[in-house]
Amino acid sequence: MQQRGVPLYLKVAATVKSRIHSGIYQRGEWIPAARDLALEFGVSTITIRKAVERLIQEGYLAARQGAGTRVTLPELKKVEIQISGDFREWFDSASGRSPRLEIQLLDIAEVPIPQRIRTLLDAGRDEQVGRLRRLRRHQGHIVSYFVNYFRVEHLQRLPRRKLTRRSFIEVFQESTSIRLKRAEQRVESIIAEMDLASVLDTDYGSPLFFVENIYYSNQDQPVVATHMYYRGDCYMYRASISLSEGPLHLQRSFAILKSTAPCLES
């Protein structure tokens, strides 16, 4: 099915980018000439030039006068983020502690409670909710977007200065004296609509990993809901399954694609 509303040059750019990641166009190699790509994609050379210009801006390609355009993306190095049954491993990775990520606080405020959060936190229809929004960056480039929702009475207890250095869950437990007993998690693949694309500095329609966590207190009451949006061009899901005798053992991880190109660092 053809996507409507997405400019042709973005589709071409995304395809060339995918070929670079898959090794069809390797680092240091020249990509086909604009006229050859135009013929292959069935578009004009103007469309190809716009796509190439975008990839040059993003650090994937470099143009040389009279020679052509070559791939400049460095060899990718992968840093794994653990998602497993061990909460401590997941906690370190999700909080940006390992690998170390820069945290940018966007805002913390009292807002009308969204319907989904009202259901998750078992709140009333007319209640307000505390909301914390933060970005995670690596060397200045945005790789993920986190939104935490919690009871509004806890809003004033959260020290803002700590929220750019430590995980929300750590700060929340310290500031409220509420101990969290367990968490439920849901993961799905989504695309970046206009709002998310703007926040994550990516294109409309780009793939995202969406992770929803609900944290429960020792009294088994839902107290925090967290929505996490990971850029699909920065993260990769990997699973390793043991087939030896005994219970199947599953190791899972997210790997961040790390390079000097914008959008790929984390």
* Cα 57 from Cα 79, distance rounded (Å): 24
| The CATH classification of domain 8-71, taken from the options 1.10.3720.10, 3.40.630.30, 1.10.10.10, 1.25.40.340 | 1.10.10.10
> 264 falls in which pLDDT band (50, 70, 90)?
very low
Per-residue pLDDT, averaged over 175-179, amounts to: 93
Instruction: Concatenate the DSSP letters of all residues of 113-160 into one string.
Output: PPHHHHHHTT--TT-EEEEEEEEEEETTEEEEEEEEEEEGGGGGGS-G
> Average pLDDT in the 168-178 region?
92
Peptide linkage before 114 cis (omega within 30 of 0)? no
Q: Is 228 helix (H, G, I), strand (E, B) or coil?
A: strand
Residues 142-151, mean pLDDT to the nearest whole number: 93
pLDDT above 70 for 91:
no
| 60 to 14, 53, 201: CA distances (angstroms) | 11, 10, 16
Choice between 101 and 172, residue whose per-residue pLDDT is larger: 172
For residue 132, the model assigns a pLDDT of 95
For the chain, domain boundaries: 8-71, 104-231
pLDDT of residue 37: 95
pTM exceeds 0.75, yes or no: no
How many residues would you count in the chain? 266
Q: What pLDDT is recorded for position 126? A: 78
Q: What is the pLDDT of residues 98-127, one digit of tens each?
A: 557 889 999 999 999 888 898 999 888 778
CATH architecture entry for 104-231:
3-Layer(aba) Sandwich (3.40)
Q: Is the pLDDT of residue 85 over 90?
A: no
Q: What pLDDT is recorded for position 213?
A: 93
Q: What is the mean pLDDT of residues 245-257?
A: 55
Closest CA to 16 of 44, 46, 53: 53
